[in-house]
Amino acid sequence: MHVVDLFLKLLSFKSITPEDANSLRFIEKYLDDYEATYVNREGVKNLFLTKKFSEGTHLCFAGHVDVVPAGEGWKTNAFVPVIKDGHIYARGAQDMKSGVAAFVQTLKEIEDFKGRLSILLTSDEEGDAKYGTVIMLEHLKEANLLPDYCVVAEPTCETTFGDAIKIGRRGSINGYLTIYGQQGHAAYPEKSINPVHQIAPILEKIAGVQLDNGDDDFAPSQMVITDMRGGMEVTNVTPDFLKLMFNVRNSTKTTQEEIKIHIAKIFEGLDYTLDLTQGSYPFVTKRDSKIVQKLSKSIEDITGIETKLSTAGGTSDARFMGAFDIDVVEFGVINDTIHAPNESTTIEEVETLHTIFKDTVAHFGTQSP
C-alpha cells in the first residue's frame, strides 16, 4: 500500500474523540509483524506496537487517531476524503492522520534497525487527554519499555513544509484572582471600597507583564488577562468584588510559586484570593539530542531547508513524553487549517513526510549527524 492510500483509508474512519472507529485495529493488522498491546481506560483506546530488531536504541513514533467534530462550513463530507488540485480534504488531514500515515507506512517498510522501533497511538488527544498517552506511558514504564527517543507527528510547519521542528512546549498556568471590596452607592464612593478602583493603578503591573526574560528555547512567560468582571450591571451601585482570570504560557524559568510571589507583591494590602491550576508543564529537548540532529539532517537532505527549532504554540501529547524524560520532538505537515472547515494537506507533503521519517530511521544508528 502506498502512503497516500493508507492516509485516505485512515481519513475515512470517523474517529471523533474518544472513538477510534476501528482505525487502531486496522493499524494493528496492517503492522501484523509488530507486537500489539492495548491499554484501554474510561472508553479511551490506546495502542502500542513494537518490534525489536536487535539490541540498541528504542525509537518511537507517537500520535493520535482521534479528531475534533467536523463543525459547519464544509464543502464536502468531512469524513469522505476528497482529492482536488493536489490537496486532500477531510477532518484530520493535518491534525494528524497525515503524520500517522507517514510513520505507520515507514515502519511497514523498514526491514532492519539497530534497536527497537515502536508506535504509540491514542484516541484521546483532542479531549481531556486523561486516559490517553500518559496512561500508556505509565504502562510502558512498568513494563520497562519506555522509548529513548520519540517523534510525535503533529503538524508543526508554519509556511513551508520542513521549516519547523518543535523541540519543546510551554506550559499553561491558569489564574483565578478575586479582589474583595465593599458594595455601596455610586453617589457616595467614600462609603464603599471599590475593587475596580483598587486594581486600576496596578493593572499595568500584571496585564501583559513578562515574568521572565526567556532564553534560547522559550519566549518570555507573559501574564495574559483573559476575563474581568464584577458588579450588578447597574450604574448606581459599586461592586463588592472583582473577578479576574489570566493565563501564563510559561517557560521552564517561571513556576506557579513565582507567580504567587509576583501577585503578592503587587496586591500587598488588598483583600484578595488567588487560585492557580496547571494544565501542562513546560519541557524542552536539548538541541544536540540525537533525535533533533538526525531529524534535522533528514529534513535538510530531502527538502533543502535548514529547519528551525521551535517551542511555540499550544500543548500536545509530547508534554507527557517530556515528563518521562524521553527525548521528544514534533514534526509534521504545515499547520494552517487544523480544526477548521475544509481541513486539508497536500499529497506532496504526506509523501515527503514519509520519506523524511524513513530516512531518519535508516540513519538513526549511524555515528554521523
Residue 27, amino acid: I
The DSSP secondary-structure symbol of 285 reads -
Rounded-to-integer distance, Cα 298 and Cα 48, Å: 25
Rounded-to-integer distance, Cα 312 and Cα 156, Å: 10
Q: Helices (DSSP H) in 132-180: which residue ranges?
A: 133-142
Q: Strands 115-122 and 46-52, how do they pair?
A: antiparallel
The DSSP secondary-structure symbol of 301 reads H
Which of the following is catalytic: 66, 95, 154, 330? 66
Axis crossing angle, helix 347-362 with helix 98-109, rounded to the nearest 10: 40
Which of the following is catalytic: 20, 95, 124, 125? 125
| 223, three cell numbers | 501574564
Would you say the C-alpha torsion 94, 293, 163, 327 has a positive or negative sign?
A: positive
Query: What CA–CA distances, in Å, run from 356 to 31, 115, 270, 359?
Result: 20, 19, 57, 5
66 is catalytic: yes
The verdict on whether omega for the bond into residue 96 sits within 30 degrees of 0, i.e. cis, is: yes
Q: Which residues are catalytic?
A: 66, 125
